[in-house]
Every structure is written in structure tokens, then in C-alpha cells.
Amino acid sequence: MIKRCVSLFAVIGLFGFTAVVSAEGGAAGQTIAGGMSASDGSAKAGKAKSELCHGCHGVDGISVDPTTFPNLAGQYAGYIFKQVQDFQLGNRNDDTMSAMAATVTSLEDLKDIAKYYESQKVMKGKPTGTALSKTGEEIYNKGNLKKGLYGCVNCHGKSGKGKSKSNSLFPIIGGQQKAYLVKQLKDLRSARRKNDPAGLMQDIAKKLGDKDIEAVAEYLAGQ
């Protein structure tokens, strides 16, 4: 995974990202994923502008329907910005989000909304302590070398809490809703979702069986 992440940074320019990111996750410039700079956006302005988002993602960024909508609390603004852009451009598809993304016609508004959710207390789950969760923790931290799978921790950080706001290509996933994590991993595996940079996550997801996905999602949802 580490080697793959480093090689990914070398081809970031192919995807229209202007960030210059180091292997440690720091940024040589000020621009982060999706063309949003670290200084862009106003969390204060974003609170009012995000009212339409509250119906699904909650006022504080905690999903109102854990089976359908993801948490956005504390998520990197650059990542949120890019995902909404991908929905707008058709690079990522979902009936609800594609329609909602189309209503945001101002880049300033989108940056403000993204900044607002980033400013919220980072999502946090409740550990289950189940055998399934322990299996997921093992996969997350150590991977499965027999399958050529390296630990998710290398890109998503300890407990899935991310590594750096300046490198928001890899989102915070610790504390995310389990159902959402399962769906996204399966969508990546089947190529229904394919907006990940350089196909990194698609490649990883293809090496995960259904039980692996359930285990990793169970672990992360509890972080």
C-alpha cells in the first residue's frame, strides 16, 4: 500500500489535482484535492448554506439514516468538495446525491458547505468488541499479504481518522456508518463506483471478499 500511495502521488496531475503531496501526506503547495485550497471556505457561512444537506447528513454531520447516508462530521473539506464535483460531473452516481449536487451552482457555496462539515466534531462510533470487528481490525492494520493486500492504515491513518487535511484524497472513514462503508466497498469492487484516483480503491476492493468487507466495515464503524 505504501508503494502504491507514493506512486499515486506521482500521477495526481493526470486527474486534474494541483496538489503537490509528499509520501508523508504533507503538501508542498496550498491547494488540496478537487481544487479547493486550505484557506478556502467559511464554516460560518456554510452552516446556513448547508440547510438542504441537513435532511440527510444532519446539522452536525451525523447521518439521520445510518442505512443510507454517510456521516460528514469532521470530514476533510477537500474530499467533500471533490465528491460533490464528481456527482455534478457524472464521475460518481447516486440518485439522491446527483440531484442534490446539481443544486449547488456556486463554487464558493460548495467550499463553504464543505468547510462547515469539516469544522464539526469528527465522527466517532461505538466499538462492538465482536469477533468480526477484531478480524476487521487485523485486515485494516495489517492487510492480507496472501491476497497482496496491504493495511488500510497506510492511507487512512490510525483508526481510520485520516492522516492530514492537506492530503484529502484519502478520507476519514473511522466512525463512518457501517452500511455506507459496505456499499461503497462493494460498489468499488464491482466498478459501479470508479472515481477513486488511479483506481487505487477499486484494486483494493477487488481483493476483498464479502466477509472481509463486513469485517472491515464493522471495525471502522466502531472507531
CATH of the domain at 98: 1.10.760.10
Query: What is the three-class DSSP state of 43?
Result: helix
Whether 44 and 10 map to the same domain: the answer is no
Whether 43 and 59 map to the same domain: the answer is yes
Total domains in the chain come to 3
Whether 160 and 105 map to the same domain: the answer is no
Given this model, what pLDDT does residue 27 score? Answer: 39
Given this model, what pLDDT does residue 67 score? Answer: 93
Q: Tell me the pTM.
A: 0.86
Q: What is the pLDDT along the chain (223 residues), one digit of tens a residue?
A: 444 443 443 333 323 333 333 333 333 334 444 578 889 999 999 999 999 999 999 999 999 999 999 999 999 999 999 999 999 999 999 999 999 999 999 999 999 999 999 999 999 999 999 999 999 999 999 999 899 999 999 999 999 999 988 878 899 999 999 999 999 999 999 999 999 989 999 999 999 999 999 999 999 999 9
Domain that holds residue 29: 2-34
Whether 153 and 135 map to the same domain: the answer is yes
End-to-end C-alpha distance for the chain, whole angstroms: 21
Given this model, what pLDDT does residue 167 score? Answer: 79
Q: Is the dihedral of CA 21, 26, 28, 32 positive or negative?
A: positive
- Asked whether the beta carbons of 139 and 197 are under 8 A apart, the reply is no
C-alpha cell, 214: 463486513
